Amino acid sequence: MKDSLVLLSRILAHPDSRCWFLAWNPAGTLLASCGGDRSVRIWGREGDSWICKSVLCEGHQRTVRKVAWSPCGNYLASASFDATTCIWKKNEDDFECVTTLEGHENEVKSVAWAPSGNLLATCSRDKSVWVWEVDEEDEYECVSVLNSHTQDVKHVVWHPSQELLASASYDDTVKLYREEEDDWVCCATLEGHESTVWSLAFDPSGQRLASCSDDRTVRIWRQYLPGNEQGVACSGSEASWKCVCTLSGFHSRTIYDVAWCQLTGTLATACGDDAIRVFEEDPGSDPQQPTFSLTAHVPQAHSQDVNCSWPSGSISRLKASEPLWLWIESCFPRKCPRTSPVPKRTRRSILDLPLFGPPAFRLGERLRATGPLTLPPLTRSPW
Amino acid sequence: MRDLLLLRRRFHGEGYREGYEEGSSLGMIEGRQHGTLHGAKIGSEIGCYQGFAFAWRGLLHSCATERDSKKMKVLEALIGMIQKFPYDDPTYDKLHEDLDRIRGKFKQLCSLLNVQPDFKISTEGSGLSF
């Protein structure tokens, strides 16, 4: 039986501007959105509807590009085109800006918290990646400025269990960094993509890294430690990363985001052709040369580029009858009228989730797509 | 007829040699100028960082707090990097890598000291530009 996507709610999140990013907090109770109106909004459920619990508008002078919750859920980092990153502390329903991290020369493109909660990474169009450390007194200190990339850095992501940082850039490479004697160094460069690498995702075990690119492929890289059985050469005591799989021919346009489901190990991509695709690893495929098959393709998932969404454990509880769901929640452009939420019982599949911004999407539970979905005609937003 | 051909070949060869020599020497001059300019830019940039670092080392000399000692550590690391840099070897294979590391360390230091580096690129010539 196939499951469907059900629209829960439409929210006019950032009136008169784009909504660039969405992030669920670790508990799954709050949704943070950020947009071109320079504000960050916090949304929470109240009964059947979503209400705006907080508007954080004093932090930035330009578009807020990304928000990220700390692993403990008490802090929110917002990265902006004004070259700063604000750290907001949650105090009941209110958020207070505890500090502003400055230093980048231009637009900050991404921010990410390490799983330990002590480290934060930001990256920018100024080609650098900054690593910040926070202590118990909420004091942030820059521990390293990494100038390894030769172009705009698009995305940073931390390894799920090691203190390893990965960054993706317009220079077609992925770089990995780790701490070495009090300083951070670039310990690996993953080359292979033929164009901008837009996003990265580690698999739940952290042994593999997926990267998606403007060259319309997804590459899976695997970590090989020194002395590995497969005989992959490593230099000294450094692990080396090898591309073990390339998913090509599935996407017709730039792939803007990739996500690796933490529960099921499924891979999902968001593409500039407005579709979402889900890949699963073929059971029994050689771990050194895994093969992935396309198991779901939701075409025209968005009439315009989608921003992103984090599925939330608590939301999926509403769909208790169907254990495997993909949730896409997004914010709408100003032209879209506010509509009331679709009643939960309706099993219609709805696909119209128009947004602005790069298509991006995160998967928390497995998706099984339904049959054809009806949609209004595609209108591509210039972006 | 054959003499004409030989003559042509001879002049061709001579012309080529003369041109090659002239081109080489012009190239050397241009290359030297380019190297001087480029080298001067890098030199002035690193010199700036070094001056900055020495000044702050003097200011923070009597550091008391743990925070200050962290700053000193980064400062000393920057000074170390600058002093280790091989200024007389333009063929050093890690030249740009090391330069980028120095720039990164400098930015980190500025962040820790809460100082905005104010080096603007100006076309008038005054002020620092690199």
Tally of CA atoms within 13 A in the half-sphere of B68 that contains its CB: 10
Q: Residue A12: which residues within 8 A CB-CB, separation 6 or more?
A: A331, A332, A334, A336, A338
List beta partners, residue A130.
A122, A145
CB contact under 8 A, B105 and A145: yes
- For residue range A248-280, what is the model confidence (pLDDT) as tens digits? 888 888 888 888 877 777 888 888 877 778 888
CA angle, corner B30, sides to B25 and B31, nearest 5?
A: 95
Average pLDDT taken over every residue of chain A:
75
Residue A194, pLDDT score: 95
Highest mean pLDDT: which range of A219-223, A299-303, A326-330: A219-223
Distance between CA atoms of A289 and A321, rounded to whole angstroms? Answer: 36
How many A-B residue pairs are in contact by the CB < 8 A criterion?
A: 31
Interface of A with B in 84-103 (CB under 8 A): 102-103
In the sheet that holds A255-260, the strands lie side by side as A255-260, A267-271, A276-281, A292-298
Neighbours of B59 (CB within 10 A): 11
Establish if A142 touches chain B: CB-CB under 8 angstroms: yes
Residue A382, pLDDT score: 33
What residue type is assigned to position A377 of the chain?
P
- For residue range A85-110, what is the model confidence (pLDDT) as tens digits? 999 999 888 899 999 999 999 999 99
Res. A44 pLDDT band, cuts 50 70 90: confident
Paired tokens of A263: 């529960």
- How large is the average pLDDT for residues A129-145? 93
CB contact under 8 A, B111 and A145: yes
User: A103 contacts in B (CB within 8 Å)?
Assistant: 107, 110-111
> Which class for A374: exposed (0-12), middle (13-18), buried (19 or more C-beta within 10 A)?
exposed
> Which class for B104: exposed (0-12), middle (13-18), buried (19 or more C-beta within 10 A)?
buried
Residue A341, pLDDT score: 34
Distance between CA atoms of A89 and A355, rounded to whole angstroms? Answer: 28
Q: Residue B36: which residues within 8 A CB-CB, separation 6 or more?
A: none
- For residue range A59-89, what is the model confidence (pLDDT) as tens digits? 899 999 999 999 999 999 999 999 999 999 9
CB contact under 8 A, A102 and B111: yes
Establish if A180 touches chain B: CB-CB under 8 angstroms: no
Res. B32 pLDDT band, cuts 50 70 90: very high
Paired tokens of B130: 């690199």
Closest C-alpha to A261, from A361, A114, A191: A361
Res. B63 pLDDT band, cuts 50 70 90: low
CB contact under 8 A, B111 and A103: yes
- How large is the average pLDDT for residues B90-114? 91
Highest mean pLDDT: which range of A12-26, A198-212, A218-232, B105-119: A198-212
Residue A296, pLDDT score: 67
With beta carbons less than 8 A apart as the criterion, state whether A106 and A153 touch.
no
Residue A165, pLDDT score: 96
Closest C-alpha to A277, from A316, A304, A235, A249: A249
Residue A361, pLDDT score: 34
pTM: 0.79
B56 phi, psi to nearest 5 deg: -70, -30
**Pseudo-torsion of CA B94, B99, B101, B106, nearest 10°?**
170
Q: Round the CA-based radius of gyration of chain B to a whole number and report it.
A: 25
User: B104 contacts in A (CB within 8 Å)?
Assistant: 128, 144-147
Candidate from A236-240, B20-24, B93-97 with smallest mean pLDDT: A236-240
- How large is the average pLDDT for residues B57-64? 80
- How large is the average pLDDT for residues A167-178? 96
Distance between CA atoms of A295 and A281, rounded to whole angstroms? Answer: 10
Closest B-chain CA to A132? B108
What residue type is assigned to position A359 of the chain?
P
Chain B: nearest CA to A147, how far in angstroms? 6
Q: Round the CA-based radius of gyration of chain A to a whole number and report it.
A: 20
Distance between CA atoms of A55 and A40, rounded to whole angstroms? Answer: 6
Candidate from A18-27, A297-306, A372-381, B77-86 with smallest mean pLDDT: A372-381
With beta carbons less than 8 A apart as the criterion, state whether A13 and A43 touch.
yes
DSSP, residue by residue, B79-107: HHHHHHS-TT-TT-TTHHHHHHHHHHHHH
Res. B105 pLDDT band, cuts 50 70 90: very high
Q: Residue B95: which residues within 8 A CB-CB, separation 6 or more?
A: none
Q: Residue B9: which residues within 8 A CB-CB, separation 6 or more?
A: none
Distance between CA atoms of A2 and A370, rounded to whole angstroms? Answer: 5
Supply the DSSP symbol for B7. Answer: H
Greater confidence (B2 vs A69) lies with A69
Supply the DSSP symbol for A317. Answer: G
Supply the DSSP symbol for A266. Answer: -
